[in-house]
Structure 1
């Protein structure tokens, strides 16, 4: 992606694109015609399985007010007790907290290029897929990657952080 293309993108997407370029990631962000504020909307727009969407969920750690980012498969729900066991007691993060800590609005939180580095955990369920897609800093922006790329891009551990799927 060249400088001219980059400058036409929203600021959050520009930040993600630069971070991906800096780390040698082969895929640049793409902008979808419609907003993908939910994992289902993103999966529908991309024509992929819901589980291939890497959702970025932000929690607020109570002991130090740190942002905790859980990157989970779109078809799974975070188990807050499992997250708490790994990082300490957390609570819900409101929109203002998410924006101030990540630099992104809810619905566009990328797993990379945060305003303040979060405590990050990667859901092991993402490794069911060869290819996944994540938000790129804007509700219309996404980028393609492999689950292994998330480890490389974030330096975060892979953990069991989700509820068992309903049967």
Structure 2
């Protein structure tokens, strides 16, 4: 893994997520892949295209917790348990955020929402399974572009709590 400075050209695009990592001096590896607009699941597509087990590829979901948008980061191999997400943010219930509100808040398009470099940062929680791995992959800020980094760096940069968020 390496910090690549500004990632442009064949390595991947420069995005607010990579800019945040560069500014923090965090090591990461850009992982671009050819995005298929007809893919039914962005996260599964990334895992398949990059040849990475789905348990190490994480999706960024925006949830509405008592009228406040929050970030939930869970493996693409499973689903988000909304009750667990609510508990992680100190609430009784949560629902998936309105897609347009999620895009406005983060500055990213659906399928490319990164937990890093969001236009307006939101409280974040990361599924505890991330800590099992030396590195995980999250969206790099656009469809067809993931970032591989240490989960501890992701937790630190997003100021996330760590909890079991995945469904059964």
| TM-score tier after normalising by the smaller chain length | 0.7 to 0.9
Give the total of aligned pairs: 159
Once the two structures are superposed, what CA deviation does each residue of 1:47-91 show, in whole Å capped at 9, x if it has no partner?
1101110110111123xx321111112212111111112322322
Q: TM-score, normalised by structure 2?
A: 0.84
1:102 aligns with 2:106: yes
The unaligned stretches of length 5 or more in structure 1 are: none
1:5 aligns with 2:11: no
1:106 deviates by: 1.1
Distance 1:26 1:61, change over 3 A: same
Matching of residues 44-83 of structure 1 within 5 Å: 44-62=48-66, 65-83=67-85
Q: Is the 8 A contact 2:6 2:19 kept in 1?
A: no
Whole-angstrom distance in 2 between the partners of 1:40 and 1:92 = 19
Whole-angstrom distance in 2 between the partners of 1:158 and 1:61 = 17
Whole-angstrom distance in 1 between the partners of 2:133 and 2:113 = 21
Instruction: Name the Cα RMSD after superposition.
Output: 2.2
1:157 aligns with 2:161: yes
Whole-angstrom distance in 2 between the partners of 1:126 and 1:80 = 18
Q: Is the 8 A contact 1:132 1:147 kept in 2?
A: yes
Q: Is the 8 A contact 2:7 2:18 kept in 1?
A: no
1:3 deviates by: 5.4
Q: TM-score, normalised by structure 1?
A: 0.84
Q: Which runs of 4+ in 1 moved over 6 A?
A: none
The unaligned stretches of length 5 or more in structure 2 are: none
Distance 1:29 1:81, change over 3 A: same
1:129 aligns with 2:133: yes
Distance 1:4 1:41, change over 3 A: closer
